[in-house]
Structures are given as C-alpha cells and as structure tokens.
Amino acid sequence: MVDLSKLPPIPKDSKVRQAMGLGIGIWDYMEKNNRELGDTFTLTLPRQGPMVWTSDQKMIADILRLKPEQVDASLVQLPMDLGENNTVFLNGKAHQDSRKIVIPQFNTNKLKGRATTMHEIVTEHINSWTIGQELNIPRLIGDITLDVICYTIFDLRHGERKEKYKELMLHWMLEATSDTNFTLAQMVGAKDWRRWLNKKYLKRTAEGKMGNGKKGIFPWKRAVDLKIQLAAMIREDIEAARANVDEDAIDMLSILSRATNEDGSLLDVERVISECVGLMIGGHETSAATGAWFGIWMQQRPDVNQKICDEVIESMQKEGKYDAIINSELPYVTACLNESQRLTPSAVGFIRWLRHDTQIGDWNIPAGTAVLPNIYLTHRREDIYGKDVLDFKPERWLGGAKKPKPTEFLPFGGGRRACVGMNQARQQLRIIFGEFARRVEFTSEFDGKTDMPRSRMIGGQTEPEKGAFVTVKTIRPENYGFTEQSAEKEAVTA
C-alpha cells in the first residue's frame, strides 16, 4: 500500500466521486481540483494505485525524462484485449524495439505517399452527403479514419473485404471500450481484465469457435467474439503476405508480417495481430475526439474557417491543382489544429506507473503511484500562453511565434512513449478540415456560441457529452476555388 501522506494533496471527494469526475465533466473536475489544490494533486480511485496529476513544468520535465526501467507500462488501464505483447504494454528494450518497427511507417516520405489517397477518401465522404443530412462529427471523423486505417494497415480501399474489416473493427472497438466494459475493468483491475479476455480469445480461437458478436447479454462476450472474427481475417492476410512476400508492399500488415525478432525469426502471428489492432485503437477514437472539438471551434468561429478555406484555395490556384501533400502542410490550418488541441485536447493526461520511489520535481513519489502530465491544465497556463490563454487564437502559432517546449504542448504525450501516429493523425485532420472549410457549409447548435459543451470520456478520450451534430447546408464542387466562378454556379445549397 502506498503511504498517501507522502503524496501531493488529495481532494476531499470520495473515491467513487473522484472516478465519476474523470468520467463526465472531466475538464470541470480538473479545474476544480486546480483551484482548490493547486497545480499538482493526487486522485485515489477505487481498486487502483494513487495517481498524481500535474501541470507543474519541472515535474513534467522529470516525467518525460523517466527511464524505461523506472516505469511499468503493463499497468496502463486500457480495458481492451490488444494482447499483452502490444507496444503499449511493453517495457524497456522490448518496447523500444517494437516502436522501431512501426515509427518508420509514419515518416515524412511514407506520409507524403499516403496524402493523395487520404484526400480521395475525404472527397468520397463529402460527395456521399446530401443537403439537410445530419452528421455527428466524431462519428464522421471516426468513419473517415477507419477508411484511412483500412488503407494504411491492409492496403484496402474498396470492396467486400474492406467493408467487412471496417464493420468488425468498428463494432469491436465500440464493444471493447463500452462504458460497461470500462467499469468492469476498473473493478477487476485493467491488466487482469485484459488477461482474462485474452485467455478466452485464445482458447476459443484454438477451438475454432468464431462466436456471433451481435447477440448475448454479456458485453465482454460480444467483444471477445468480435476480436476472434477480426483476428481471423488478419491471420488470413498475414499468411497470404508471408506466402507471397512482396518487399515493395508498404502497408503495415505486410511490413509487420516481414518484420523479425533479434534472432531473425518472424514475429509471432499473434504479435502481428496485436500490433494491427493496437494501431486501429490508437488512431480511431483519438482522431474522432480531436475532430469533434475542431469541428465545434469551426462552427463557433466562421471567420477562422473562412481563412482556412482561403488558404486552401490560394494554394490550389498557385499549384494549378489540389495538391494533397502541400495542402496537408498549410500553416494556417496547422495553427488552427494546434489551437484546438491546446484548448480542447482529446487526452486529458498520459500515464507513467512508477516501479520505485522517484524524485519528481520537489516530491519523492512512492513506488506503485502513477504520475500524469496534465495536458488540459498545462495548455491553459497563463505563465506559458499569456493573458489571452483562453482565447482561440491561431495567430499565436504563426509568424515566427515562439515554439512551445515539449513540456508545454503535449496533445500526443511525450518522451519515449509519445504517440507514434502523431504525424499521420495531424496530416489526416488538416486534409479533412481544409476540405470541409473549402467545400462544405454546415449549420449547428454551436453557431454563434462561445462556450464549449460539457466533456465526457468515450473510449478513454474526451468528447462532447452529447456528440457534435451538424447539418449539411451547402456542398461545393470538387474544383471549387480552382475554377472559382464556374464552380460557384454548381454549388448545391439548401
């Protein structure tokens, strides 16, 4: 048992109230604790070690510097069965080796190679909408992300197999991260819960029992069924990739199927499946949640949205075409994404469980405690971002503005375990919101408002409590802005 008297202040709320504070209205709860207890406070949730949340810059610097042997990632509270050998749960050298396989797939050249297809996917989605259609932004971004994931991981763009993958991925992720499964995992302990699910998955896979995945009152059984079916498809693809090795294939599945351990042996099939499903989960709800807040900002700030539209059009006119690589790197849309992730980050914090007593800032934090840089509160510090810290002001990122330090801007975490998909996520969101600004006009309940809706946790990410619904008012043609005058005549408006 950790001696709580050695830890930063703990709110007077009961453990259950603290857990609820992290569920619905998490931002308000962080602000309340910040007001009452300061930059650094400890939450003590049921059946878990204490968690020290901090926006103190010295403490965050120490957390980012933690060495692999000082932390235990297997204690991360993810309740879904990714397989315990997934990058996220690995420690030390195994963790770094695993990242080395995946990270090169998100380097600049690889991303440039994917930009045009990402744009095609966004175009297909926009072209499929009708005037007056109501869309929920997080689900819509999630749907686009799944198409990008099918392409990135399996090199699938269309067809039955892609649709089957998409359906299984979506349903598995929704079941695996449902409120019920999250709560059960909290009660049992996430690691034990995952191991229990994984045992069931392996046993039933060995017996060839595919399950139904749709019926049944037990949410964990549906999650296991869906994982079995999804994994069976991935297993077929791994076998095919290994039977016909194509050294030029750059989809993740082919790369992971070719990857080897230190002794030259191929990665275990279950390990490849585990990394594939890990990348799906890593990129899905995170992007959906980030997109939800970005979309709300754009409804509240049509002036900013118009500037994004102007920036994309100017680039098209300069290039003589829509160039996905150039348009995914434009400075103003990048500044808007930064500003949205600063004020409304999808992850409130990221976690490191300490193996030993460790000096973090002025505190000697006991072993068995988790330390979390508080992303939300850090991004709202006046001493970092100035008096206008609460204003949505993309200009603060432009014109030679001072770049924040790694401890000051953390939407993708930091240090040795920082998000591997960051560049892909950012590229994708810039293309999506650049094209929304250029081609689509939405109306919504957020128009003319200045307050953000209350937040709640969905799949470990902070999203607007009741979704972010918008209605399609105008869809402009694909060439809008390039041949501006003729294009404007063709725009369909409600």
C-beta closer to ligand HEM: residue 98 or 205: 98
C-beta closer to ligand HEM: residue 78 or 224: 78
First to last CA, the chain: 62
Based on its alpha-carbon atoms, the radius of gyration of the chain, rounded to whole angstroms, reads 23
Where do contacts with ligand HEM occur on this chain (CB under 6 A)?
Answer: 87-88, 99, 278-279, 282-283, 286-287, 290, 346-347, 350, 411-415, 417-421, 424-425
- DSSP secondary structure string for all residues of 351-410: -EEBSS-EEETTEEEPTT-EEEEBHHHHTT-HHHH-TTTTS--GGGGSTTPPPPPTTT--
C-beta closer to ligand HEM: residue 54 or 346: 346
* Closest distance of CB 410 from ligand HEM, Å: 7
Cα–Cα distance measured from residue 91 to residue 267, given in angstroms and rounded to the nearest whole number: 17
DSSP SS3 for 421: coil
Tokens 């699910």 found at:
197
C-beta closer to ligand HEM: residue 132 or 406: 406
Q: Report the C-alpha dihedral over residues 328, 331, 337, 342, rounded to 10 degrees.
A: 150
* Closest distance of CB 319 from ligand HEM, Å: 27
C-beta closer to ligand HEM: residue 177 or 346: 346
The dihedral sign for the CA sequence 405, 409, 411, 417: positive
User: For the chain, give me the number of helices (H) and strands (E)?
Assistant: 19, 12
* Closest distance of CB 100 from ligand HEM, Å: 11
Side chain identity at 324, as an amino acid letter? A
C-beta closer to ligand HEM: residue 224 or 337: 337
* Closest distance of CB 282 from ligand HEM, Å: 3
DSSP letter assigned to residue 266: B
Enter the tokens of residue 80. 């879904």
* Closest distance of CB 278 from ligand HEM, Å: 6
* Closest distance of CB 418 from ligand HEM, Å: 5
C-beta closer to ligand HEM: residue 205 or 358: 358
Strand partners, 463: 456
Cβ atoms of 113 and 90 within 8 Å: the answer is: no
C-beta closer to ligand HEM: residue 99 or 161: 99
* Closest distance of CB 116 from ligand HEM, Å: 18
DSSP SS3 for 9: coil
* Closest distance of CB 325 from ligand HEM, Å: 18
DSSP SS3 for 337: helix
